[in-house]
Amino acid sequence: MADLKSLKLFQAITQEETERILKCSKSRMKTYPAGTYIFEQGGTPSRLFLLLEGQVQICKDFTSGKRDVLYLVEAGNVFGEIFLFGDKKHYWYDAVAVTDVTVMEMPWDFFYHFCSNACNHHKQLTQNMLEILSENNFKITRKLHIVSTSSLRERIAIWLIDSMDEKGNVELKMNREQLADFLGVARPSLSRELMRMQADGLVEVSRKNIKIKDVEAVELLYD
């Protein structure tokens, strides 16, 4: 399980201060089995969620059965945060446990109301949250960039370049179905295009990794 004091939300906050925050905010730890909805579209937002263990999928389900995956949340990151400082009264997406997960749930009221002591660690927590909001806004902008392209190969290319490490390797944190949902395409179409890109010498695909063999050529796909 993630160590709270090592997480972005509790950056520059001591262990003692963290314990004080959890008590003062009346935060709670909860576990959810894989496949469980942590919250659903139409629900009323009231808490910030910090993922301590496991993986959560932020997605939107449609009546047709189609699922649009916005992004995946890894341990140590928050979710449900975009409703924190806005005026939205209902969730417009779902949060689904991909694996068994452990979550810390913090009531939003804690971010809005400072006590008479105006504790520095409370202010620091709010500052950390604003930085996280900025980072997560970038994730949504990145997703919009991907799905706005005209072809599946372009979508794959942008995702690969954004996700690769310094050696051109992309670790597959999503299975093929989840990746297809994230890119907004059918799984068979994604598999066929990856195989075509492999045949063209652009990538090398394995079960848990994609190696970009020609980074320059992949970058040129969406120039």
Per-residue H/E/C for 75-127: CCCEECHHHCCCCCCCCCCEEEECCCEEEEEEECHHHHCCCCCCCHHHHHHHH
What predicted TM-score, i.e. pTM, was given to this entire model? 0.79
Q: Is the pLDDT of residue 155 over 60?
A: yes
Alpha carbons 45 and 74: distance in angstroms, whole number: 21
For the chain, how many structural domains are there in total?
2
Chain centroid, CA 207 distance in Å = 22
From 100, 127, 145, give the residue that closes a domain. Answer: 145
Question: Using one digit for the tens of pLDDT, what is the confidence trace for 122-141?
Answer: 888 888 988 888 888 887 78
- The whole domain housing 140 covers 4-145
Is the same domain home to 180 and 128? Answer: no
Residues 95-124: what's their mean pLDDT? 84
Provide the pLDDT confidence category of residue 118 given band limits of 50, 70 and 90. Answer: low
Is the same domain home to 165 and 83? Answer: no
Is the same domain home to 61 and 139? Answer: yes
Q: Is the pLDDT of residue 116 over 70?
A: no
Is the same domain home to 32 and 139? Answer: yes
Provide the pLDDT confidence category of residue 143 given band limits of 50, 70 and 90. Answer: confident
Is the same domain home to 134 and 43? Answer: yes
Question: Using one digit for the tens of pLDDT, what is the confidence trace for 82-104?
Answer: 877 666 688 989 999 999 999 99
Is the same domain home to 12 and 94? Answer: yes
From 145, 175, 191, give the residue that closes a domain. Answer: 145
Provide the pLDDT confidence category of residue 114 given band limits of 50, 70 and 90. Answer: low
Question: Using one digit for the tens of pLDDT, what is the confidence trace for 11-46?
Answer: 999 999 999 999 989 999 999 999 999 999 999 998
pLDDT at res. 209: 95
Is the same domain home to 13 and 64? Answer: yes
More confident position, 30 or 62: 30
CATH number of the domain residue 168 falls in: 1.10.10.10
For the chain, list the strands marked E by DSSP: 28-32, 37-39, 47-53, 55-61, 67-74, 78-79, 94-97, 101-107, 169-171, 203-205, 209-212
Is the same domain home to 10 and 117? Answer: yes
Is the same domain home to 135 and 169? Answer: no
From 145, 168, 190, give the residue that closes a domain. Answer: 145
Is the same domain home to 106 and 211? Answer: no
Q: Is the pLDDT of residue 148 over 60?
A: yes
